[in-house]
Amino acid sequence: MIEESLKAFLKEDIQSGDLTAPIAKGKQASARLICRSGALLAGIDFFEKIFKILDKNTRFERFFPDGTYIEESSVVAVLNADAAAILAGERTALNLLSRMSGIATLTREFVSQLDGFDTMLLDTRKTTPGLRFFEKYATRVGGALNHRLGLYDCAMIKDNHIKVAGSISAAIKAIRSEIPFTSKIEVEVKTVDQMKEAMDNRADIILLDHFDIDQIRQAVKIKNDYVRLEASGNIDKDSLKAVAATGVDYISTGYITHHAVSSDFALKIF
């Protein structure tokens, strides 16, 4: 899956061929990967793989693993490969590394706000189509836990599902009879009354959607022993600590993917 995705990214850029390839025909080159802005590194394995797809004889020396904070102007890695491969893969590799490192850097900023709390940070499905695996990998590097990867690994009942089913009870009943017994059921609720209905029907996880602080505290107070509570909705770095202080089990936010700014890397032939 990973290699297929990387090949598709390259195909998008190269298509029928790099028109500048004749410049590099028959030549070898070496290049330095330089971090031009401080960043938490994420995706260095994929960066390397892109060049090895283009030239299986690529030699790659990395100086830092993923999860390392890279200072501005640091040399992250050096590669030697067919010059045409370096020129053809440069932008694709840099784009992916920059995007992933930007997400990891922002995620680490969020996670650091939760020091001292038992609450864990979760990512969401608010990812770029085609990049979900890579973006969710980046949030893990940043210290978050992955929420479900897709519709297939957790049965999550949201407001539109409840509208279709007619009620939370009906939605849970319909799902429980069909899914494997190992699968969890999560229900998104808008009110404390809905939360009680979800608990009465033995939901495994309840997502408190856009609850204010007082409502979250109330939910934590009345929850039973087996259910886990997840707070979500317009949560940013300024509100994170207040939400965690309620004692909620998880905080999920799409902010760490859809608000992340790509880190700045460059690849320079020498």
Q: Which residue out of 18, 204, 209, 249 is catalytically annotated?
A: 209
Distance CA 264, CA 95 (A): 9
Helices (H) and strands (E) in the chain, counts: 10, 12
Burial letters 165-184, b for 16+ CB under 10 A, else e: beebeebbebbeeeeeeeee
Q: Is 91 a catalytic residue?
A: yes
Maximum C-alpha span of the chain: 71
Provide the residue type at 239 as one letter: S
Radius of gyration of the chain (CA): 22
Pairing verdict, β 155-157 and 75-82: unpaired
Measuring CA to CA, which residue among 36, 86, 40 is closest to residue 59?
86
Q: Is 126 a catalytic residue?
A: yes
Question: Distances in Å between the alpha carbon of 158 and those of 125, 207, 263?
Answer: 13, 9, 34
Q: Which residue has the tokens 């949560």?
A: 235
Q: Which residue out of 91, 132, 184, 237 is catalytically annotated?
A: 91
Instruction: Report residue 45 as tokens.
Output: 């394995």
Measuring CA to CA, which residue among 238, 261, 251, 10 is closest to residue 138?
261
User: What DSSP character marks residue 22?
Assistant: G
Q: Which residue out of 126, 184, 217, 228 is catalytically annotated?
A: 126
Q: Is 49 a catalytic residue?
A: no
Q: Which residue out of 48, 123, 135, 188 is catalytically annotated?
A: 188
Do the Cβ atoms of 143 and 111 come closer than 8 Å? Answer: yes
Q: Is 90 a catalytic residue?
A: no
Instruction: Report residue 209 as tokens.
Output: 């959607």
State the catalytic residues.
91, 126, 158, 188, 209
